């Protein structure tokens, strides 16, 4: 392997560590009631998003569901802006108006953070349509869970993406459960990837606990799409170590199942691969881990010290223009009914 590729793998490992340490801190802050609303952790799934990011260009579009911390951090949104968003602070990546499930970062081509299951899949088709229409060779990466594949929006988007040959990769993060419902209980197919056949779309499976497998499969898919625009479907098999959200004790699955996946941890695996190949020392790994922990801790301090969004900004950026006048008037008890 050449030197630049080697550096990249170590850098990707450090991003996976940052995601893990950031979310461990977020979990602690949630329990301390510093974070309101919902909070879904990606711990265990890090190689999915980082493998995909390693295979793509920074200007490729990315869109995802509500389990979105890793997608933003992987794309380059700062830990400070991510933590502050959960704290509802003005310095957050969505000005504190979105919270954990609605991270946005246009500069890093990260278009959300969407809480309605499956609703962003047609948006991804639209983004891919726009890049094809403009003659750009950008690819859209659209992540969603196994719970989204039976939604109408999924099928509508797949049909149009195939019909118009849109440059989009639909990535199903199959972590075996949608809240407490297992894939076997919700889906008629034995293999999720077979959904692609109904739309004559190429379908691929990748091992989401293995960074290199995800990166290599996606590299192949992306190369083909850049040469000749078309959609593709990739089922990435993975597992979340934590419950669906912070309030889920995950009693619907066994300790043995959880242990099996924890033994196959994506960070431990990539570390072992690099160490075995003489590309990473224990000292280097420890230094990277220490830096990730420090960044996560510093993000909590930053979020705590950041100012709240002024109250008059509350109605902005939703249904009306930046001044928020229309909705603010409608919300006022003094205002005549609209
Ligand atoms: C249209 C819609 N129906 C129901 C819900 C409630 N809900 C929130 S998350 C979720 C499960 C989705 O699971 P999956 O797509 O597998 O993603 P994961 O949480 O495993 O990442 C459900 C049903 C919702 N947000 N949107
Ligand atoms: Mg799922």
Q: Which domains does the chain have, with CATH numbers?
A: 3-307 (3.40.50.970), 311-338 (no CATH)
The first and second tokens of residue 12, run together, are: 């990707």
Nearest CA to ligand 1 atom 3: 117
The answer to whether residues 121 and 338 touch, using CB atoms and an 8 Å cutoff, is no
pLDDT of residue 325: 55
Q: What's the gap in Å between 118 CA and the centre of ligand 2?
A: 12
Rounded to the nearest angstrom, the distance between the alpha carbon of 324 and the centre of ligand 2 is 36
pTM of the model: 0.94
CA of 125 to the centre of ligand 2 (A): 21
pLDDT at 178: 97
Write the CB contacts of 166 (distance below 8 Å, at least 6 apart in sequence). Answer: 125, 128, 129, 132, 140, 160, 229, 230, 231
Q: What is the pLDDT of residue 320?
A: 57
Q: How far apart are CA 28 and CA 83, in angstroms?
A: 12
The pLDDT, as a whole number, for residue 316 is 76
- Closest ligand 1 atom, residue 244 Cα: 19
Q: Which ligand is nearest to the CA of 69?
A: 1
What is the distance between the alpha carbons of residues 151 and 155, in angstroms, rounded to a whole number? Answer: 7
Ligand 2 centre distance from Cα of residue 90 (Å): 31
Instruction: Measure the CA angle with vertex 201, ends 196 and 203; round to 5°.
Output: 55
Write out residues in the chain with pLDDT < 50, as ranges.
1-4, 6, 328-331, 335-338
Nearest-CA residue for atom 11 of ligand 1 = 178
The pLDDT of residue 319 is 65
């Amino acid at each position: 392997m050449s030197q630049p590729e080697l550096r990249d793998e170590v850098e990707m490992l450090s991003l996976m560590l940052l995601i893990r340490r950031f979310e461990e801190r977020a979990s602690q802050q949630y329990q301390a009631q510093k974070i309101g609303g919902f909070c879904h952790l990606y711990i265990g799934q890090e190689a999915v998003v980082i493998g995909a990011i390693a295979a793509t260009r920074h200007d490729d579009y990315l869109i995802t569901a509500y389990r979105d911390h890793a997608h933003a951090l992987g794309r380059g949104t700062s830990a400070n802006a991510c933590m502050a968003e959960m704290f509802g602070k003005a310095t957050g990546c969505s000005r504190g108006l979105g919270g954990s499930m609605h991270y946005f970062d246009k500069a890093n081509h990260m278009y959300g953070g969407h809480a309605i299951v499956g609703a962003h899949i047609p948006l991804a088709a639209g983004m891919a349509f726009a890049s094809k229409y403009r003659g750009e060779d950008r690819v859209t990466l659209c992540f969603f869970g196994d719970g989204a594949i039976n939604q109408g929006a999924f099928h509508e988007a797949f049909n149009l993406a195939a019909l118009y040959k849109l440059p989009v990769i639909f990535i199903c993060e199959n972590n075996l459960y949608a809240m407490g419902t297992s894939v076997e209980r919700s889906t008629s197919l034995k293999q999720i990837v077979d959904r692609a056949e109904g739309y004559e779309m190429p379908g691929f499976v990748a091992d989401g606990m293995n960074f290199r497998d995800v990166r290599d499969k996606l590299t192949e898919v992306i190369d083909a799409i850049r040469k000749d625009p078309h959609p593709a479907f990739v089922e990435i098999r993975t597992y979340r170590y934590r419950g669906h959200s912070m309030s889920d004790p995950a009693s619907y699955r066994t300790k043995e199942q959880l242990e099996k996946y924890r033994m196959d941890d994506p960070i431990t695996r990539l570390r072992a691969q690099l160490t075995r190949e003489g590309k990473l020392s224990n000292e280097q790994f420890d230094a990277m881990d220490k830096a990730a922990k420090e960044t996560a801790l510093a993000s909590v301090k930053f979020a705590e010290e950041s100012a709240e969004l002024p109250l008059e900004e509350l109605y902005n950026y939703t249904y009306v223009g930046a001044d928020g006048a229309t909705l603010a008037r409608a919300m006022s008890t003094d205002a005549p009914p609209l």
